[in-house]
């Protein structure tokens, strides 16, 4: 009981510290040992969001004044997941994101003559609808929209949009059944 109380106090202290740095946090959120290295004012967490230990909210690119990472009400993000946005990643309410997932809205341009990573970022917004469930080790690439209530199986790589209320698995992720 004392451990739970201390964990709750630590979570509230982290939320307060991130609010002071500019993260928009609505209501109570449960924040374990997470990392937000920069552009704190580009992040919005709705009430009831739970971010477990090792979650990284990484905002890159030029500051625009707009929210680049938006996480909906009562969404749970499991351990060691990275959400990496340069334009916008929006995660709907009541989603579950498994451990060791990677969600991004960009990649690097490249050419045969330039250094790797030397070109500009190529960005397209990424969106997860409400009540989505991503299994462990799922990768979601730029420009993808995952429909409401869709389940993505562990280890999948989502390269193209997925419709609502389906199960998708594989690399690349393909729909295997409707829900």
Helices and strands per DSSP (H, E), number in the chain: 1, 21
CATH number of domain containing 74: 2.160.10.10
Contact (CB, 8 A) for 100 and 137 = yes
SS3 2: helix
> What is the rounded CA–CA span in Å between residue 105 and residue 177?
26
Q: Measured between alpha carbons, how far is residue 122 from residues 61, 69, 70 in Å?
A: 10, 17, 20
Per-residue pLDDT of the chain (179 residues; tens, 9 = 90+): 888 888 888 888 888 888 888 899 999 999 998 999 988 899 999 999 999 999 999 998 888 889 999 999 999 999 999 999 999 999 999 999 999 999 999 998 777 676 766 778 889 999 999 999 999 999 999 999 999 999 999 999 999 999 999 999 999 999 999 99
> What is the rounded CA–CA span in Å between residue 49 and residue 41?
17
Beta-bridge partners for 177: 167
Q: Which of 96, 102, 45, 106 is nearest to 75 (CA)?
A: 96
**What is the count of structural domains for the chain?**
1
Can you give the pLDDT at residue 120? 80
Can you give the pLDDT at residue 96? 98
> What is the rounded CA–CA span in Å between residue 174 and residue 157?
9
H-helix or E-strand spanning residue 19: helix 2-21
CA dihedral for 94, 34, 79, 166, sign (positive or negative): positive
Contact (CB, 8 A) for 43 and 25 = no
Q: Which of 154, 157, 152 is nearest to 142 (CA)?
A: 157
Characterize the bridge pairing of strands 121-123 and 106-108: antiparallel
Compute φ and ψ for 14, nearest 5 degrees: -65, -45
Domain assignment of residue 89, given as a range: 2-178
Catalytic residue numbers, as ranges: 108
């Amino acid at each position: 009981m004392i451990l739970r109380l201390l964990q709750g106090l630590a979570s509230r202290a982290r939320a307060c510290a991130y609010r002071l740095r500019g993260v928009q946090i609505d209501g109570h959120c449960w924040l374990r040992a997470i990392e937000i290295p920069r552009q704190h004012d580009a992040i919005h967490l709705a009430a009831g969001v739970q971010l477990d230990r090792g979650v990284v909210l990484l905002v890159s690119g030029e500051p625009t004044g707009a929210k680049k990472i938006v996480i909906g009400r009562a969404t749970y993000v499991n351990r060691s997941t990275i959400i990496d946005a340069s334009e916008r990643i929006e995660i709907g309410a009541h989603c579950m994101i498994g451990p060791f997932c990677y969600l991004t809205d960009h990649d690097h341009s490249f050419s045969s003559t330039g250094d790797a990573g030397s070109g500009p970022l190529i960005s397209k917004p990424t969106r997860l609808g409400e009540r989505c469930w991503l299994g462990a080790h799922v990768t979601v690439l730029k420009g993808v929209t995952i429909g409401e209530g869709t389940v993505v199986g562990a280890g999948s790589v989502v390269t193209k949009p997925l419709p609502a209320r389906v199960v998708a698995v594989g690399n690349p992720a393909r729909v295997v059944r409707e829900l």
